[in-house]
Structure formats: C-alpha cells, structure tokens
Structure 1
Amino acid sequence: MAQEIQTLIEQQKVIAICRKVYGAELSAFVSAIERGGIQLVEVTFDQQDPHCVQKTSEALQMLNETFSGRAFGAGTVLTRDQVKAAYDAGAKYIISPNTDIEIIRYTKDLGMVSIPGAMTPSEIITAHHAGADFVKLFPCGSLGAAYIKEVMAPINHIKMMAVGGINMENLAAFMSLGFTGVGIGSSLCNRKLLSENRFDQIEENARRIREILSNN
C-alpha cells in the first residue's frame, strides 16, 4: 500500500494542506478541489489546540468515510501518539515540519508514507537515511531559489517536496528546480473563500494549479 501511495503522490505532484478546517466545511473543500483535479489532502494537527488529536482524527475518519478510495494524510505530526492516532483514523501518509528519526521509523513501521520536513543538507540526508519516502524542504518561500539550487545539486537522488509559500504565481518556478511535488496551503485552503462559501473559486484555483503542474 505504501508504494501505491508513494506513486500516487509522484503522479499527483500536489498535496493540499488544511489547517483548522473540520466537519462539513472540510468536506465541501475536499469536494471542490477534487472537482478541480486535486485528490491529496493533508489535515494538520493544530499543536496549540489541546483537542487537536481528537479533531484531526475525526476529520480524517470523516474524509475516509465520505471519499472512499482516496488517500488522506496527517500534517504537523510531532509525536508517536499523533502518528498512531492518524494511522487509526485511516491516514496514508505522515507529514512533519521537522526531521525526527523516531517519527520517520514509526511511520514506516505502520506501513505509511513518511514525509518529514528539513531545511539543511544534513537534515535532508538524515531523513532520507532514516527511511523517509520524500523530504519536505521547508520553508521554501523563505529559502529562495539560489539556496534551493545549491542544496539540491549534490543530493538530487533524494525525492523532495516544496512546502511553505507556494502559490500559483511561483509554482512553475519551484517545480523547475527539480522538486517531485509541492504542498500548498492558503492558496488552496483559503480562509476568506471558505468563510464566503466560494467553493466555485476554490475549484477553479485547484484547476489552475493542476494545469500548471501538468506543464511541468
């Protein structure tokens, strides 16, 4: 199963990042981006919320029940308990902002795809050697193209995803640097559009992102 999910991520090239979105609003968002051609969604743990494990678990369970056959994952995963809660809720991939060898290995032990975050060459290689399927270079928007080129040049054998500050305006430029895929947050899961129930615009944004990726 993990190999199938890994292949799906490579084919899709984009994971939509949802923060603090739950219930019917989350379901409507996922429906909209799916109509626009985006299938992969990361539901994050809000670490400031003492009820984040319950909320994220319930959100993942709801998505798996509503969208049968789709692959959903958990993001901002920092602890073994959060990994296990996500696994029990049906998550297929675990995404973190940092490189934690224990989290990577536990994720793989449970048969899920591991996508830890890293910024430096040492962190990227450590994550790769620990078994990460992809490494999330984060925060890409702040690091800049020059840094990314220099970092990726000697370690281009590692599959990396660009996350942090990715939008429709810079997506093509980031993909041209050699990333396997991207994670996109507010450009897709936009709070203003959600509050105004503008799911038609969210769908259109997903379609535009899909078109950009199909050309890169």
Structure 2
Amino acid sequence: MKHILENNRICAIMRGVPLGKALDYADAVYRGGVRMFEVAMNSGDAAKQIELMRKHFGDNAYVGAGTVISEERCKAAREAGAQFFLTPSATTGTMEFCRRYDIPLLPGVLTPTDVAVCLEYGYNIMKLFPAGDMPPSYVKSLKGPFDGTEYVAVGGVTAGNIKTFLDNGFIGVGIGSNLMPKEYVKNDEWDKASEYVKGIVESI
C-alpha cells in the first residue's frame, strides 16, 4: 500500500453511487485532483463500477474495493480488477486472501488489539475507522507502542477537518459522502463537483 499512498493523501470513497452516474462522479473527482478511489463492495453494482473505472482510467488512477469482509467479496473484487482492498476491521480472512494473491490491503483497526493482529499478518499501514469518533490525538497514542505503524483516517472526515487529521499524524484520509454536496450528484452538476473536490485537494 505504501507506493499507492505516497502520492495519494486522499481516497475518494464511492458508496451507493448509482451505476449510471459512477463514471461521471469518478471523472469529477479525478478532475478535482484525486487519483485514488475506493468502491464499497456492499454497494449495488460495485464490481461493475470497478470494472468500468479500471477500463476508463487505465494506469492514471488507482481503483480499489472497500468493505471486503468475506471470501465472496474478495473473489468478486479480484475478478473485477480491484488494485487494492480495504476493510473496516481486522478481518483475518481478507488478510490471508490478499497475502495469497499479493493484493495490497489497508486493513481497518480501532483498538490496540486490532493493530497487533494486523502486524502479525505483516500489515503496518492501516485504516483507522471510525476515525472521526476518536480524539484527534488518538493516532499518536497508537503509534507510541506500535512504532513503525502508519494510519489512514476514514469515517467522519470532511473538508473542514481533513487538515486536522493530517496534522495529527495520519498519512492520508478517505472521504465518502462528504467529498461533494449531494445536490451536485443528484443534479449532474459535475463541473461544480469537480471544483469542490479541487478546493479540498488544494487545502492540503
């Protein structure tokens, strides 16, 4: 995951985006300056969206699969061409699957025990979820005993607090429904959506 995150501090989380709007949505985000996408596997047509986006962006963006918490979702995401996986928890089955097929993974953690489990499987870059429900300094508390670990903040990240997360030691963030106003998506106002995302990117 490190090589993906080095130049991508923002991951656009696509959950519940209608299939017919998926490419327009992703294009708006891309034009705003974001090159890393997560398509949640518990969304309708998630695998199809991943396939379409991989074909559309080619090597110009990273397209991953999120909420990959079962073997069925692991297989579907891999077949769709997802370039990396994310989980909301320290799901050992997904960790084993990703090690078997050499798929980059950002496993989800919240507690020290979660972090310890991920380290046992060889993952030192993790997704702290839900980051917005924890104190801003919480990531520093985790890094104390678990030196050498890095974290991406997901859950509760907004345009207004993204800099706070980064200033407190997170190497990146994932933003879902707060990435752009819902009315832009509803009304197909993709230029406005792109400018909104651009504002977030420029703020960091």
TM-score, normalised with respect to structure 1: 0.87
Deviation at 1:152?
A: 2.8
Residues 1:170 and 2:166 are matched in the alignment: no
Of 24, 27, 46, 1:56 maps to 46
Q: Distance in 2 between matches of 1:208 and 1:190?
A: 13
Q: Is 1:167–1:187's contact at 8 Å kept on the other side of the alignment?
A: yes
Give the aligned partner of residue 154 of structure 1: 145
| SS class of match (1:173) | helix
Distance 1:77 1:190, change over 3 A: farther
What code does the residue aligned with 1:130 have?
Answer: Y
TM-score, normalised with respect to structure 2: 0.92
Deviation at 1:182?
A: 0.8
Q: Distance in 2 between matches of 1:164 and 1:208?
A: 20
Q: Is 2:159–2:179's contact at 8 Å kept on the other side of the alignment?
A: no
Q: Distance in 1 between matches of 2:20 and 2:32?
A: 19
Residues 1:205 and 2:199 are matched in the alignment: no
Give the aligned partner of residue 93 of structure 2: 102
Of 14, 27, 34, 1:18 maps to 14
Deviation at 1:180?
A: 1.4
Distance 1:133 1:26, change over 3 A: farther
Q: Distance in 1 between matches of 2:116 and 2:203?
A: 29
Q: Distance in 1 between matches of 2:135 and 2:21?
A: 33
What code does the residue aligned with 1:178 have?
Answer: G
Deviation at 1:129?
A: 2.2
Give the aligned partner of residue 43 of structure 1: 39
Q: Distance in 2 between matches of 1:57 and 1:95?
A: 14
Give the aligned partner of residue 68 of structure 1: 58
Deviation at 1:198?
A: 2.0
Which stretch of the first structure deviates more once superposed, 30-39 or 101-110?
101-110
Residues 1:143 and 2:134 are matched in the alignment: yes
What code does the residue aligned with 2:27 have?
Answer: S
Count of residues paired in the alignment = 203
| SS class of match (1:11) | coil
Deviation at 1:174?
A: 0.5
Q: Is 1:77–1:95's contact at 8 Å kept on the other side of the alignment?
A: yes
Residues 1:83 and 2:83 are matched in the alignment: no
**In the TM superposition, what whole-angstrom CA distance separates every residue of 1:193-214 from its partner, at most 9, and x where no partner exists?**
210212122212221222233x
Unaligned 5+ runs, structure 2: none
Deviation at 1:155?
A: 2.1
Residues 1:195 and 2:186 are matched in the alignment: yes
Unaligned 5+ runs, structure 1: none
| SS class of match (1:42) | strand
| SS class of match (2:178) | coil
Q: RMSD of the alignment, in Å?
A: 1.7
Q: Is 1:37–1:207's contact at 8 Å kept on the other side of the alignment?
A: yes
What code does the residue aligned with 1:139 have?
Answer: P
Percentage of matched positions with identical amino acids: 28
Q: Distance in 2 between matches of 1:81 and 1:208?
A: 38
Deviation at 1:190?
A: 4.4
Distance 1:79 1:146, change over 3 A: same
Distance 1:145 1:119, change over 3 A: same
